[in-house]
């Protein structure tokens, strides 16, 4: 807790006591966030796609590295070259994630444009450490975090609509949230789910 240098110890204690409920609430919230897991991209790990966990099976191939999804068996097969590194295996899986996300975004953005009443001139995906999405209002462009493909579709939908609404309103003010309520009732559930994920040390509660 920050306090002016000349503040007495007694005054600081009073300030801490007064804000104890706030401190405890936010400390508990921080500790409850999902901790990031270090992955080695080896058989037996669980990797997520659209909110479901899939068992990873890593198999050797002399052909082109690829990923196969078996939804019925709830498994992901990662075909890579013998002796591949963790980074190489991660690159193959992330490329597959990116293609799946682009497929969904192509349909989702087109669906929401007339509803929100905006035209997205360009959209893209990228890995971000502190945001689920961001936008350039002047260029009418939005970017979505690649990690969204690992979460339920309604979470991706929330961030897409969130960024589109920013093309109407730059700030997170009453007008912005009023537009969110109009276009996507119940958006709070997806926001709450994403807030439970430890995306990065500086990650805020909002998508943009």
- CA-wise closest residue to 66 among 80, 56, 53: 80
Helix or strand holding residue 155 (H, E) = helix 153-166
d(CA 54, CA 69): 9
pTM reported for the whole predicted model: 0.79
CA within 13 Å, CB half, 87? 0
Residue ranges of domains in the chain, CATH in brackets: 46-195 (3.30.2010.10)
Q: Going residue by residue through the chain, which has 208 residues, state the pLDDT in tens, using 9 for 90 and above.
A: 444 444 555 554 565 555 555 445 444 444 444 555 789 999 999 999 999 999 999 999 999 999 999 999 999 999 999 999 999 999 999 999 999 999 999 999 999 999 999 999 999 999 999 999 999 999 999 999 999 999 999 999 999 999 999 999 999 999 999 999 999 999 999 999 999 987 753 333 454 5
């Amino acid at each position: 807790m920050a306090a002016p240098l000349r503040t007495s110890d007694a005054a600081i204690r009073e300030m801490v006591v007064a804000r104890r409920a706030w401190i405890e609430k936010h400390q508990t919230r921080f500790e409850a966030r999902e901790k990031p897991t270090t992955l080695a991209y080896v058989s037996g790990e669980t990797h997520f796609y659209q909110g479901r966990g899939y068992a990873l099976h890593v198999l050797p191939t002399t052909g082109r590295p690829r990923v196969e999804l078996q939804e019925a068996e709830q498994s992901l097969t990662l075909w890579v070259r013998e002796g591949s590194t963790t980074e190489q295996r991660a690159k193959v899986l992330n490329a597959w994630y990116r293609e799946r996300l682009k497929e969904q975004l192509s349909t989702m953005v087109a669906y929401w444009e007339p509803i929100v009443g905006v035209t997205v001139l360009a959209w893209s995906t990228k890995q971000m450490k502190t945001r689920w999405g961001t936008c350039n209002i002047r260029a009418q462009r939005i970017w979505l975090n690649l990690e969204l493909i690992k979460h339920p579709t309604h979470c991706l939908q929330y961030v897409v609509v969130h960024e589109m609404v920013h093309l109407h309103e730059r700030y997170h003010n009453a007008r912005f949230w009023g537009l969110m309520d109009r276009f996507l009732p119940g958006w709070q559930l997806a926001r709450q789910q994403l807030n439970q994920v430890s995306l990065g040390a500086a990650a805020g509660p909002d998508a943009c």
